[in-house]
A = this chain, B = another copy of it.
Amino acid sequence: MPNPIRIFDTTLRDGTQGEKVSFSAEDKLRIAKRLDEFGIHYIEGGWPGSNPKDMAFFEKAKSETFRHAKIVAFGSTCRSGNLPEEDPNLKALIAAETPAVSLFGKTWLLHVSEALGITPDENLNLISGSIATLKRHKKEVIYDAEHFFDGYKDNPDYAVSTLIAARDAGADVLVLCDTNGGTLTHEVSRIVEEVKKAVGSTAVGIHAHNDAELAVANSLAAVYAGAVHVQGTVNGYGERCGNANLCSVIPNLQLKMGRSCVPEEQLSQLMRLSHFVSELANLAPENRQPYVGKSAFAHKGGVHVSAVIKNEQTYEHIRPGQVGNSRRVLVSDLSGKSNLVYKSEEMGFEFDKSSQDSSKIVQQLKVMENEGYQFEAAEASFELLVKEMTGKAPEFFKLEGFRVIMERNGNGESRSEATIKVRVNDQIELSAAEGNGPVHALDAALRRALCEFYPEISGMHLQDYKVRVLNEKDGTGARVRVLIDSASDGKSWGTVGVSENIIDASWKALSEGVIYFLMNQEKASKPDIIYTAQ
């Protein structure tokens, strides 16, 4: 049985160096707890002393219990000229009271002379002096050899001598960093093998960046060559192009290379972990992200769809459930009728592939996709469309008109108001509401107008509202697509609207969200109805 691999997560430190990635101290703590639960071995929390947010995190972490993970504080070797025991940076590392410290030092002579302005020997002394100090304070020391690969290619002997200095001062693991992310995979393989020979039995680790789109491959190559400690971030967040993406590294190691990283039952939480972190980072999850992306097991081409229905192994490299993902079949103009039929059956419709209806619907879908509609995330709108085209759409209300007014005065105060007129069973209802903005006001007015007829409407709420500008080049006259997720009782459904007018697009998505809800309420109370719940 090969050695298990120790996973070192740096989402909270290197991850936050990514453009648009930012976490509050509370976010950081929530993520750390989640990573611990997932089975990560080391969680690097930040650089104490570099900013108040990181300080606050370490303060909070002191009173928390972590089951698997060791919290790690990150910092640089002692500054030249300082005594290690008096160096403010080392003191901050010690004061963070973490069981482990990751300490970075220079490998590359270019940096030793240009960035630090010291001699090669002085650099070796800084490395060993700093590590010895931390060891005296009983820290586990993870030594990050910055720019290791560039330094090694420039001067292999000196690069190795920095590792030997770290090892001899007591470092527990020697991490080879591809700081600039430009090293090729076959170079990583060769250099890790050579380093393994040079440093003896001390554990070697890898820290890769994705500037050449090779961070995952380089991490695996290092493990293949003998590394036992892998650093990376959730979703690959990180400076520039990001760090090695743990959401790909972990399943590759565990499912394909037989190197265990986290408890097996946790691996099936991988997609949830990925989405949890992207949510706290307030970044949209990347659909085509390997393993955990929404498209990772999505089939669009007709050939693939019909084959994968017969045997999943034909077009899927792992079972999606192993990482908590699932298969999706997409409806689009590229897809044949077999996708439409699969999709419709999923929703409880039965119509055969050769029917008139099916051709008509495929045609209509093509027209609407051309206008900018997408039903991939709006299955409720798709279902309503199919019902409408097959004459099975119920009418719960008819819109007689609405008006939205938004005013702003010279003091910057603004108000939004909507009035709406709907007809339900020949009864006219006019209502008005205010809101934070025009769409919010319209939503409130619609609910108010309907609640007399459909009091159950108070049981549904809007969960998510997204706006996408379709043809951005047309400025404010551009067409927009609005996606709305509505929810009730833990179930959620998506609707879509497209228009040059954001209020019109929002109206379509809003009203369809309500219609879909009412339709499913009705079904629940009349079990014999021809269409079935999703």
Q: Taking beta carbons and an 8 Å cutoff, which residues of A are in contact with B?
A: 16-20, 22, 50-51, 53, 76, 110-111, 114-115, 179-182, 184-186, 210-214, 216-218, 220-221, 224, 236, 239-242, 245, 248, 251-252, 256-257, 279, 282, 286-291, 293-304, 307, 310-311, 313-318, 330, 332-334, 369, 374, 376, 398-410, 414, 416, 421, 435-440, 442-443, 461-478, 480, 484, 499-504, 506-507, 510
- Determine the distance from Cα of A314 to Cα of B111 in the docked complex, in whole angstroms: 7
- A104 nearest in chain B by CB position: B303
Residue numbers in B under 8 Å from A279 (CB-CB): 473
Q: List 10 A-B contacts (CB under 8 A).
A: A17-B301, A19-B287, A182-B256, A217-B218, A400-B410, A404-B407, A414-B501, A435-B476, A438-B501, A502-B502
Verify A290–B211 contact, CB threshold 8 A.
Answer: yes
The contact of A22 among B241, B333, B480, by CB within 8 Å, is B333
Residue numbers in B under 8 Å from A474 (CB-CB): 465
How many Å from the CB of A322 to the closest CB on chain B? 12
A401 touching B409 in the complex, CB below 8 Å, given contacts A212-B248, A241-B296: yes
Verify B476–A472 contact, CB threshold 8 A.
Answer: no
How many Å from the CB of A271 to the closest CB on chain B? 13
- Tell me which of A376, A439, A461 has the highest count of chain B C-beta atoms within 10 A of its own C-beta: A439
- Determine the distance from Cα of A193 to Cα of B284 in the docked complex, in whole angstroms: 40
Residue numbers in B under 8 Å from A214 (CB-CB): 216-217, 220, 252
Verify B475–A239 contact, CB threshold 8 A.
Answer: no
Residue numbers in B under 8 Å from A53 (CB-CB): 333
Residue numbers in B under 8 Å from A286 (CB-CB): 286
What are the nearest 8 A-B pairs in CB distance? Answer: A182-B317, A462-B475, A217-B217, A437-B501, A213-B248, A436-B500, A467-B467, A213-B216
Residue numbers in B under 8 Å from A400 (CB-CB): 409-410
How many Å from the CB of A68 to the closest CB on chain B? 25
How many Å from the CB of A411 to the closest CB on chain B? 9
Verify B217–A185 contact, CB threshold 8 A.
Answer: yes
A476 touching B465 in the complex, CB below 8 Å, given contacts A295-B240, A410-B401: yes
Residue numbers in B under 8 Å from A251 (CB-CB): 212
The contact of A503 among B298, B300, B406, by CB within 8 Å, is B406
Verify B182–A503 contact, CB threshold 8 A.
Answer: no
- Determine the distance from Cα of A314 to Cα of B112 in the docked complex, in whole angstroms: 11
Residue numbers in B under 8 Å from A300 (CB-CB): 17-19, 239
- Specify how many copies of this chain sit in the oligomer: 2
- Determine the distance from Cα of A126 to Cα of B467 in the docked complex, in whole angstroms: 49
Residue numbers in B under 8 Å from A316 (CB-CB): 180
- Determine the distance from Cα of A466 to Cα of B472 in the docked complex, in whole angstroms: 7
- Determine the distance from Cα of A51 to Cα of B302 in the docked complex, in whole angstroms: 11
How many Å from the CB of A170 to the closest CB on chain B? 25
Verify B296–A503 contact, CB threshold 8 A.
Answer: no
A20 touching B439 in the complex, CB below 8 Å, given contacts A182-B256, A317-B212, A463-B475: no
The contact of A239 among B252, B301, B310, B510, by CB within 8 Å, is B301
- A407 nearest in chain B by CB position: B403
Verify A115–B307 contact, CB threshold 8 A.
Answer: yes
- Tell me which of A186, A213, A410, A461 has the highest count of chain B C-beta atoms within 10 A of its own C-beta: A213
Other contacts beyond A19-B330, A212-B252: 10, CB < 8 A: A20-B287, A22-B332, A180-B316, A210-B290, A212-B291, A435-B476, A436-B501, A437-B500, A437-B501, A437-B504
- A467 nearest in chain B by CB position: B467
- A293 nearest in chain B by CB position: B241
Verify A398–B410 contact, CB threshold 8 A.
Answer: yes
- A316 nearest in chain B by CB position: B180
How many Å from the CB of A362 to the closest CB on chain B? 11
Verify A334–B469 contact, CB threshold 8 A.
Answer: no
Residue numbers in B under 8 Å from A376 (CB-CB): 19-20
Verify A295–B19 contact, CB threshold 8 A.
Answer: yes
- Tell me which of A114, A287, A477 has the highest count of chain B C-beta atoms within 10 A of its own C-beta: A477
A438 touching B282 in the complex, CB below 8 Å, given contacts A301-B17, A398-B410, A476-B462: no
Residue numbers in B under 8 Å from A398 (CB-CB): 410
- Determine the distance from Cα of A296 to Cα of B209 in the docked complex, in whole angstroms: 11
Residue numbers in B under 8 Å from A442 (CB-CB): 476
Residue numbers in B under 8 Å from A477 (CB-CB): 435-437, 440
- A415 nearest in chain B by CB position: B501
Residue numbers in B under 8 Å from A407 (CB-CB): 401-404
A473 touching B463 in the complex, CB below 8 Å, given contacts A186-B224, A241-B293, A334-B17: yes
The contact of A467 among B287, B409, B469, B501, by CB within 8 Å, is B469
